[in-house]
């Protein structure tokens, strides 16, 4: 290791030697002060030399004192004074015979000079000593010294020894100092990096918190999207259910009127004709009301419904709403009491919308109260007016209270009776009140009655805003331009064709029941694929094999879907009919039942629909006896009383529903063989359809690119997490 390896190689202070030299100086100065006295006390001197010895001692003490003073300036100054003083005393003693022995200590001066002046000090002192001894020898001084040349040799030997001894020490010190400085720099850099790491950790913590918040928001958005999907499906199913029932009655009675007119050749029976017309009119009015409710709900959700605000007196408005619904109460023998003070302060509201809310609440109270009546109360509080509509009906179970204001939610009473009609009135009423800046709630005790209440603000400064939506719905925009391709659905059920056609917006869906029809479709159109949707997997595989052999160039997709026949097989019934039911469908079901039909039982909770079915059956089987039942329990008792030849059964009924009745019949030995035709108000598009498998094949096979693309699309579709519904019963959704 050389000097170039260390910055400041010639600077002793850089490597920390100055502190060591200061310590050596203090020791040497103390020796100069103390050693002479010790020598003087230890040895006796002749009388002729005592004076010179005393002088030498004083001189040596003076050197020690000057060294101490010079060391305060620097170690170099102190070393220079000490070296010069000792060298002067040693050389000066050569001219004094009594002190000439002190010259033997001159080699020690070389060691002192080497200590304080590194490379140059020792040789310089040796040169001075060599010259002084040579001069003294020429002048005849120091003749009593035994070996002047030996002193010179010893001095130069000390130079070499000092250099050899000091070099490793100096190199070790320089290396230690360099490592210390490097370690110090590394420690400083480590501290800076630690601070930077702390900043990075803090930034990562903040980022992690933000990511967790984003994940929570994404999860909330996903749940909201799932809820929106579920509500959309329930909304569509409920609308379909509510529309089908009155439509079925309108179409059925109209068909009966037309058939009677053709069969009789003359005017129909006036009483029957009037009853049919009343039923058609009543259900048409209900359809009109349902459509109005749906439009109101859509306008509220789209924030397009405006309010015509004015100062409204509630007493007159309550009396007007009560007069509208009074015939309902009179017809059922119920009472309607009004407890609305005339001095009630006016409210800022839309008169027509508040009246709509009151009429809806009073109509519900009359519809679902059999004894007693209803009461309207109103009172003023600090900043709003509270209106209560109470009835003495059966009440609502506590577990159903949170769902009273949901769209199309028909909450059932303690006896299983639906407490609502379409399920839209209360939802619309609540949103109308919220648009006014008020609130709406419900309290109920089973067996004692129900109280609906709402508040309206009194201040003119109330500003109503758009009702907050928890999610946005996105509509799929179909592609524009290009020639539409076609797919062929190989199935015999029209419902399946209709279902596929509704969901394949970018393709023309062609129906085919035979291989020849598939061939004609391929000749006339650009067919992209053949979809086989048989009612069972074995039949689907068999049809798919035949299609692959006949049309090897076309992809064949196998997807067995539960059709009416499969639903009927799963339920163990003769046929599965979806409302609205036409007379031809009833006739087909009667033929499938087979045998002689002398006793037929109709089970449905809708009296109008029961009347329609009864008249259809009498027209088709004039000699048959038709028994009607309005609940599952009543039907089970009637079946056990006399075993019928056929049962027409509605699945959705309060209390014992159609599923429970079917299960009871299957466990009864006498009723197990009775044929059943199921009537459902829900079509396949509202059911929780599930396919057991999906197969894709093509005559030449699939390339790797096509296979990977199909797998990727399939995995992506399955990974979206579309929530499935619990069918509850085999093949048919609950309710």
- The answer to whether residue 50 sits within a structural domain is yes
CATH of the domain at 510: 3.40.50
- The answer to whether residue 605 sits within a structural domain is yes
- Does 674 share its domain with 697? no
Residue where a domain terminates, one of 164, 179, 194: 179
- Does 543 share its domain with 395? no
- Does 516 share its domain with 414? no
Q: Cα(428)–Cα(360) distance, rounded to whole angstroms?
A: 10
pTM of the model: 0.42
| pLDDT tens string 437-471 | 899 999 988 888 999 999 998 754 444 444 444 44
Look at 198-202, 208-212, 273-277, 388-392 and tell me which has the smallest mean pLDDT.
273-277
Look at 7-21, 246-260, 273-287, 687-701 and tell me which has the smallest mean pLDDT.
7-21
CATH of the domain at 643: 3.40.50.2300
CATH of the domain at 368: 3.30.565.10
- Does 26 share its domain with 175? yes
Question: CA 130, 132, 138, 140: dihedral to nearest 10 degrees?
Answer: -120
Give, in order, the Cα–Cα distances in Å from 292 to each of 178, 240, 298, 416, 428: 93, 15, 10, 28, 11
- The answer to whether residue 466 sits within a structural domain is no
Residue where a domain terminates, one of 149, 179, 209: 179
Q: Are 454 and 438 in contact (CB under 8 A)?
A: yes
- Does 699 share its domain with 664? no
Range of the domain at 588: 580-678
- Does 694 share its domain with 651? no
Question: Could you tell me which residue, 286 or 374, shows the higher pLDDT?
Answer: 374
- The answer to whether residue 167 sits within a structural domain is yes
- The answer to whether residue 210 sits within a structural domain is no
Confidence at residue 494, expressed as pLDDT on a 0 to 100 scale: 64
DSSP 646-685: EEEEES--SSS-HHHHHHHHHH-TTTTT--EEEEES--GG
- Does 610 share its domain with 672? yes
| pLDDT tens string 490-544 | 887 666 776 677 667 667 888 888 888 888 888 888 888 888 887 667 777 888 8
Element holding 603 (H helix, E strand): strand 599-603
Give, in order, the Cα–Cα distances in Å from 65 to each of 34, 68, 154: 11, 5, 28
- Does 664 share its domain with 703? no
Q: Cα(427)–Cα(639) distance, rounded to whole angstroms?
A: 40
- The answer to whether residue 643 sits within a structural domain is yes
Residue where a domain terminates, one of 136, 160, 179: 179
- Does 713 share its domain with 629? no
The alpha carbon of 425 is separated from its chain's Cα centroid by a whole number of angstroms, namely 34
| pLDDT tens string 164-184 | 766 777 777 778 878 888 888
Question: Could you tell me which residue, 263 or 192, shows the higher pLDDT?
Answer: 192
Q: Cα(665)–Cα(671) distance, rounded to whole angstroms?
A: 5
- Does 694 share its domain with 652? no
25-29 long-range contacts, CB within 8 A, separation 24+: 25/67, 25/68, 25/71, 25/75, 25/78, 25/79, 25/82, 25/116, 26/68, 26/71, 28/64, 28/67, 28/82, 28/112, 29/64, 29/65, 29/67, 29/68, 29/71, 29/78, 29/82
- Does 47 share its domain with 166? yes
- The answer to whether residue 697 sits within a structural domain is yes
- The answer to whether residue 610 sits within a structural domain is yes
Q: Which residues pair with 456 in a beta bridge?
A: 385
Q: Which residues pair with 629 in a beta bridge?
A: 603
- Does 356 share its domain with 446? yes
Number of domains in the chain: 4
Q: Cα(102)–Cα(593) distance, rounded to whole angstroms?
A: 148
| pLDDT tens string 338-377 | 999 998 988 888 888 888 889 889 988 888 888 999 999 9
The pLDDT confidence band at residue 96, using thresholds 50, 70 and 90, is low
Confidence at residue 570, expressed as pLDDT on a 0 to 100 scale: 75
């Amino acid at each position: 290791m050389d000097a170039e390896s260390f910055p400041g190689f010639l600077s002793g202070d850089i490597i920390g030697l100055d502190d060591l030299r200061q310590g050596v100086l203090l020791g040497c100065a103390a020796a100069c002060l103390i050693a002479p006295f010790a020598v003087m006390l230890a040895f006796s001197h002749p009388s002729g030399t005592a004076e010179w010895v005393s002088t030498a001692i004083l001189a040596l003490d003076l050197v020690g004192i000057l060294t101490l003073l010079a060391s305060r300036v620097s170690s170099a100054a102190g070393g220079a004074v000490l070296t010069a003083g000792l060298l002067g005393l040693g050389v000066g003693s050569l001219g004094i015979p009594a002190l000439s022995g002190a010259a033997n200590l001159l080699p020690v001066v070389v060691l002192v000079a080497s200590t304080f002046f590194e490379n140059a000090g020792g040789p310089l002192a040796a040169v001075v000593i060599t010259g002084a001894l040579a001069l003294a020898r020429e002048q005849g001084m120091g003749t009593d010294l035994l070996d002047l040349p030996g002193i010179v040799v010893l001095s130069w030997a000390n130079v070499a020894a000092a250099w050899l001894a000091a070099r490793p020490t100096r190199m070790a010190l320089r290396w230690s100092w360099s490592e210390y400085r490097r370690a110090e720099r590394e420690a400083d850099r480590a501290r800076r990096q630690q601070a930077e790491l702390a900043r990075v950790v803090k930034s990562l913590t903040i980022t992690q918190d933000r990511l967790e918040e984003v994940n929570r928001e994404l999860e909330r958005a996903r749940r909201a999207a799932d809820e929106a999907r579920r509500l959309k499906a329930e909304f569509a199913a409920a609308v379909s259910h509510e529309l089908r029932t009155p439509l079925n009655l309108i179409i059925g009675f109209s068909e009966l009127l037309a058939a009677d007119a053709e069969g009789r050749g003359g005017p129909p029976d006036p009483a029957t004709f009037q009853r049919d017309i009343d039923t058609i009119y009543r259900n048409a009015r209900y359809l009109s009301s349902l459509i109005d409710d749906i439009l109101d709900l859509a306008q509220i959700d789209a924030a397009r419904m405006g309010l015509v605000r004015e100062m409204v007196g509630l007493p007159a408005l309550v009396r007007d709403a009560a007069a509208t619904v009074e015939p309902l109460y009179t017809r059922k023998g119920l009472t309607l009491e009004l407890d609305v003070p005339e001095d009630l302060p006016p409210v800022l509201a839309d008169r027509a919308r508040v009246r709509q809310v009151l009429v809806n609440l009073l109509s519900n109270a009359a519809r679902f109260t059999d004894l007693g009546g209803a009461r309207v109360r109103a009172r003023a509080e600090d900043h709003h007016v509270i209106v209560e509509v109470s009835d003495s009906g059966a009440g609502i179970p506590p577990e159903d209270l949170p769902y009273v204001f949901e769209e199309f939610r028909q909450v059932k009473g303690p006896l299983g009776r639906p407490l609502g009609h379409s399920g839209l009135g209360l939802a619309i009423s609540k949103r109308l009140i919220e648009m006014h800046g008020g609130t709406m709630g419900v309290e109920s005790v089973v067996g004692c009655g129900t109280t609906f209440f709402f508040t309206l603000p009194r201040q003119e400064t109330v500003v109503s805003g758009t009702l907050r939506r928890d999610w946005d719905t996105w509509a799929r925009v179909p592609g524009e331009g290009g020639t539409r391709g076609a797919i062929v659905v190989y199935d015999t059920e029209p419902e399946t064709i209709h279902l596929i056609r509704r969901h394949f917006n970018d393709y023309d869906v062609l129906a085919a029941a035979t291989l020849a029809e598939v061939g004609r479709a391929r000749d006339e159109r650009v067919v992209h694929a053949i979809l086989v949707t048989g009612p069972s997997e074995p039949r689907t595989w068999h049809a798919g094999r035949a299609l692959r052999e006949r049309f090897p160039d076309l992809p064949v997709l196998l997807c067995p879907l539960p059709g009416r026949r499969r639903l009927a097989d799963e339920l163990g019934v003769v046929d599965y009919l979806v409302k609205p039911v036409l007379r031809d469908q009833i006739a087909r079901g009667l033929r499938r039942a087979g045998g002689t039909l002398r006793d037929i039982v109709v089970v449905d909770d809708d009296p109008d629909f029961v009347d329609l079915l009864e008249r259809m059956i009498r027209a088709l089987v004039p000699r048959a006896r038709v028994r009607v039942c309005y609940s599952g329990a009543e039907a089970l008792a009637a079946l056990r009383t006399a075993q019928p030849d056929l049962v027409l059964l509605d699945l959705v009924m309060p209390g014992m529903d159609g599923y429970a009745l079917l299960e009871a019949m299957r466990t009864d030995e006498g009723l197990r063989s009775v044929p059943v035709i199921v009537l459902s108000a829900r079509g396949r598009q509202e059911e929780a359809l599930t396919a057991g498998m999906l197969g894709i094949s093509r005559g030449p096979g699939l390339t790797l690119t096509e296979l990977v693309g199909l797998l990727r699309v399939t995995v992506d579709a399955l990974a979206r997490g579309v929530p499935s519904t619990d069918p509850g019963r085999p093949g048919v959704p609950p309710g």
